[in-house]
Amino acid sequence: MRTFEPSKTLDRLPEQFFANLVKKVQQLSEEGHDVINLGQGNPDLPTPSHVVEELKESANNPLYHKYSPFRGQPFLKEAICEFYKREYDVELDPETEVAILGGAKTGLVELSQCLLNPGDTALLPDPGYPDYMSGIALANAKASFMPLKKEHGFMPKYSELNEADLCEAKLMFLNYPNNPTAGTATEDFFKETVALADKYDLCVCHDFAYAAIGFDGKKPRSFLETEGAKDIGIEMYTLSKTYNMAGWRVGFAVGNSSVIESLNLIQDHMYVSLFGAVQQAAAHALLGPQDEVRSLVKTYEKRRNVLIEHLKEAGWHVEAPKGTFFAWLAVPKGYTSQQFADLLLEQAHVVVAPGVGFGEYGEGFVRVGLVAEEHRLREAAERIKQLGLF
């Protein structure tokens, strides 16, 4: 069979760092080992039943068996606006300030192609969500990294960034509550971000994937709650985490109308929006009962408490995360993040994600997911304790 060479665009795409980890986990499982996988970011709980029922009923609507409007159903855009007003007291125009996405990942990758030309620079958090780099590679642009350090609460210290990079950059990605560090943003930090973006003519994209998941009674802030945020940026929201709808692939971008238009335009050429019944179910999720969202947050907080308590009992001095469904834990002295992750996998059959996979400044940490039941988290901590590392 003839082999056809891929384009240079595909050659630029970054390697999937965690592909090798997936292979190792699969091999151990096939060998019959009981593997506790805390290395993934996939919600383990089902979509609320009332959302599923809405989909079933909506799927019978023959209008939804046709192509959807290219830019999404008006009722979903209106639901998004009502949701943002209810949750964050943010006013949005459904026609000009909302873009429907096939999952937030789609928008995060598309955005670089919308705003960056070859050779342009984007500012990225380090450590950060790896797929920010995918969009930059497709746009043939460059990345300048903003270190997220523990001593700064895992928020970039803008005064420490290179002035030349700030002057060159067109786009900045932020993500709070943060994956992988589980850090949360302050009101003052978002104000500082708006001022910086205004000074350097930057577009800010705030990835709000873990919007609903804040602990200890603290609700995560929307970037758009900050005065002037809509003038200089957008926010991307996904239903994957808030409503356990990861496989449904529903997300949206809201904010600056020129950026929203660019996202809508690129999608006009790539998609015909989402299945109408999925859009109706998504609108129902946003506007319907929110009891299960509150219950979900309580579940993750209980899991967090169980994991942290038992890891401390094992002698591992770890700090409790403030949000997301991850814990960002410092590895013991004498190990790299990859070495420690390999040790836990091979000797305890516990999967964690090595921090270096999220960037240079992720070295020295591992990311542990709260995406398993409490008894499995206890079991994972007990297995780690048995290694006698602490």
The pLDDT, as a whole number, for residue 168 is 96
Q: CATH classification of 8-47+291-386, choosing from 3.90.1150.10, 1.10.287.1080, 3.40.50.720, 3.20.20.80? A: 3.90.1150.10
Domain residue spans of the chain: 8-47+291-386, 49-287
In terms of residues, how long is the chain? Answer: 390
Please report the sign of the dihedral spanned by the C-alpha atoms of residue 356, residue 358, residue 201, residue 137: positive
Q: Do the first three CATH levels of 8-47+291-386 and 49-287 match, i.e. the same topology?
A: no
Question: What's the fold here for domain 49-287?
Answer: Aspartate Aminotransferase; domain 2 (3.40.640)
Cis peptide before 220 (omega within 30 of 0): no
Contacts for 258 with CB less than 8 Å, ≥ 6 apart: none
The pLDDT, as a whole number, for residue 18 is 78
Percentage above 70 pLDDT, the chain: 100
Rounded to two decimals, the pTM is 0.96
Q: What is the DSSP letter of 64?
A: G
Residue 328: closest CA among 34, 22, 41 = 41
Q: How confident is the model at residue 103 (pLDDT cuts 50, 70, 90)?
A: very high
Output the six-digit token pair for 315. 């002698």
The pLDDT, as a whole number, for residue 16 is 80
**pLDDT averaged over every residue in the chain:** 95
